[in-house]
Amino acid sequence: MGGRLGIEAEKHKTAAEEAWLDEVASIGCVMTWHLYGSYAPAQIHHLFDAHQRSHWLVAPLAEEFHTGPNGFHGLGGERGFRARYKLGEAELLAMTLKRIAEKRRNA
């Protein structure tokens, strides 16, 4: 299963937040699913405002799409990621929520 490693600074998490992050990581990278239709272990990417990071607004990304040279941080953030993949953080969140819903429906 995917780990929850990432470059984001950890802040105190509630038990509910921990459970949510574990569930999100368990679905694998949403970009790998989107582009290749397969599972890849994921790191947690915190979405939107970096100064008010929420553990609820996250997307699971493989290292390639998170911190790699062609990843969100490697491309300089939202603008570079959107230019390369035609997807931004809102779409990553939507893809994450859809995969979680599918996983729960099939459980």
| Residue 42, burial from CB neighbour count under 10 angstroms (0-12, 13-18, 19+) | buried
Report whether 5 contacts 42 (CB < 8 A). Answer: no
Distances in whole angstroms, Cα of residue 87 to Cα of each of 16, 27, 83, 94 = 28, 19, 8, 11
* Domain positions in the chain: 15-106
Report whether 88 contacts 81 (CB < 8 A). Answer: yes
Looking at per-residue pLDDT, the higher value among 54 and 2 belongs to 54
Looking at per-residue pLDDT, the higher value among 77 and 5 belongs to 77
pLDDT tens for residues 41-94? 999 999 987 677 789 999 999 999 999 999 999 999 999 999 999 999 999 999
15-106 CATH:
3.30.40
Could you tell me the pTM of the whole model?
0.86
64 residue type, one letter = E
- Dump strand ranges (E) for the chain: 43-46, 58-61
What is the per-residue pLDDT for 10?
55
